[in-house]
Structure 1
Amino acid sequence: MSWLRKKRVLLLLFIGFTAVLFLGTNWMSWFYPIHFKEEIREHSTTYETDPFLVAAIIRVETNFKTGQESKKGALGLMQLMPDTAKWALEQAKLPDVSLDELKAEPSANIELGTWYLSWLDRQFAGNRTAVIAAYNAGPGKVTSWIKDGDWDGTESAVKDIPFGETRHYVQRVIYYYNQYRELYNEI
């Protein structure tokens, strides 16, 4: 190894150790940032929903990028489908919010998505894994999978979720959820 290369390696090691000393163990938060903390905290409190779950879903859905619309038409940070959003707006009795606002306004999207997670949590009696699956595949599908014995609704049996997309989605959300819980005391 050349002297110049050794100097670069030593410099990188020095920078890394210095960062750990000054940042403590929370340096990993650089790799797992949470944006829109105030909105997540506010709406999670209002709808009694785990803020780490909200953050994990946003991370998987859009990586905290605003103004997103999927190929299937899902809107905003939490990627709410238009029909689900219209239904949820009626059920939640939220002030008039347009689909354009749900796409563009982080707070409106987080509020409706958090309300929907709260509703799903009640539907699935607090079963977080089933809630995550239902957020992706829809509550009717998840209820049917559990009723028909295709999946028992548990985290340990995620491999049995019939839809590959939903199976992968649940695994990713749980991964980020666990990372956030480990790295942050609160949101």
Structure 2
Amino acid sequence: MKWLRKKRVLLLLFIGFTAVLFLSTNWMSWFYPIHYRDEISKHSETYEIDPFLVAAIIRVETNFKTGQESKKGAIGLMQLMPDTAKWALEKAKLPDVSMERLKHDPAVNIELGTWYLSSLSRQFEGNRTAVIAAYNAGPGKVRSWLSEGTWDGTEAAVKDIPFGETRHYVQRVIYYYDQYSELYNEF
């Protein structure tokens, strides 16, 4: 009988410890971590982009793993296509940045990716959903969908995006954006 009481006491202590742990910390952040917070914060402030959007895009693109290269050739944390990266490097005037450095250096990739998001935000007048779609499909495609009336650019009509990959991408980025915005009061 003593043995059974000891097990109950241990079980109660374990449950109590677990409850205190979960109530005293933001335990959901364990499932939705944000790596490279300093770089994201710095460049988001510089280029006036919501840092949660940058984090959500990185999460969907590479899950914060550096040195990634997609089958289509997109590179780095934010998976910039080489032609887009070269164009953005020229426009952003980032000194001494090679494509190899862009692939492996998180700070440089985040800076250029955030600059590009800022450029898209200006093109689409701050429409976050259109910016996300343009980041994936390209601004030309998104402009044609909007002008042809294929998609109205709203989050409510994401199901109307004609490319399945882009539709799914936008839904995933918005999901992570919402999770980060809820979990982290500030960046």
Same fold (TM over 0.5): yes
C-alpha separation in 2, matches of 1:130 and 1:175:
15
1:75 maps to amino acid? I
Corresponding residue for 2:23? 21
C-alpha separation in 1, matches of 2:98 and 2:67:
14
Shift of 1:14: 4.2
Corresponding residue for 2:70? 70
Kindly indicate whether residue 146 of structure 2 is the aligned counterpart of residue 142 of structure 1: no
C-alpha separation in 2, matches of 1:15 and 1:94:
50
Corresponding residue for 2:154? 154
Corresponding residue for 1:103? 103
The change in CA–CA distance for 1:171 and 1:10 in structure 2 (over 3 A counts) is farther
C-alpha separation in 1, matches of 2:120 and 2:54:
13
Shift of 1:165: 0.3
| 1:86-130 deviation line (CA, Å, top 9, x unaligned) | 000001111121110011000000000000000000000000000
The percent of aligned pairs where both chains have the same amino acid is 76
C-alpha separation in 1, matches of 2:154 and 2:18:
39
What do you get for the CA RMSD once the two structures are aligned? 1.7
1:177 maps to amino acid? Y
C-alpha separation in 1, matches of 2:62 and 2:94:
23
C-alpha separation in 1, matches of 2:15 and 2:164:
41
Corresponding residue for 1:81? 81
C-alpha separation in 2, matches of 1:175 and 1:10:
36
Name the count of aligned residue pairs.
181
SS at structure 2 position matched to 1:38 = helix
C-alpha separation in 2, matches of 1:68 and 1:9:
44
| 1:1-187 map, 5 Å | 13-23=15-25, 26-187=26-187
C-alpha separation in 2, matches of 1:74 and 1:166:
15
Shift of 1:18: 2.6
The alignment's TM-score, normalised by the length of structure 1, stands at 0.92
1:16 maps to amino acid? T
| Structure 2: unaligned runs, 5 residues or longer | none
The change in CA–CA distance for 1:9 and 1:61 in structure 2 (over 3 A counts) is farther
The change in CA–CA distance for 1:69 and 1:10 in structure 2 (over 3 A counts) is farther
| 1:49-89 deviation line (CA, Å, top 9, x unaligned) | 11000000000000001111111110000000000000000
The change in CA–CA distance for 1:12 and 1:163 in structure 2 (over 3 A counts) is farther
C-alpha separation in 1, matches of 2:55 and 2:141:
24
C-alpha separation in 2, matches of 1:104 and 1:163:
30
The alignment's TM-score, normalised by the length of structure 2, stands at 0.92
* Superposed structure 1 runs of 4+ greater than 6 Å apart: 6-12
| Structure 1: unaligned runs, 5 residues or longer | none
